[in-house]
């Protein structure tokens, strides 16, 4: 599992996280995989592109697991 530290904010949007971690090549691709039901947040399929993620949330995509942590 990979940890993602929040810096200077209390949350990050789901589509931004996928792009920042280079799990997708663009913001558009991030939106597509989210709308296609390929991303899970806390064990459930998440279809909201701008879902706010907070410390303790877990994201799963493409056999990778990311935990959001406080900085």
Cβ–Cβ < 8 Å for 38, 1: no
* Mean pLDDT split into 10-residue runs, the chain, 71 residues: 94 98 97 98 98 98 97 84
Per-residue tokens: 67: 């935990």
Give the count of alpha carbons within 13 A of 5, CB side only.
3
- Domains of the chain, by residue range, sit at 2-70
CATH T-level topology, domain 2-70 = 3.10.290
């Amino acid at each position: 599992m990979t940890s993602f530290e929040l810096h200077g904010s209390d949350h990050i949007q789901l589509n931004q996280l996928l792009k920042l971690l280079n799990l997708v090549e663009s913001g558009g691709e991030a939106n597509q995989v989210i709308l296609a039901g390929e991303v899970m947040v806390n064990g459930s399929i998440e279809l909201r592109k701008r879902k706010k993620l907070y410390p303790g949330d877990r994201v799963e995509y493409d056999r990778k697991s990311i935990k959001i942590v406080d900085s």
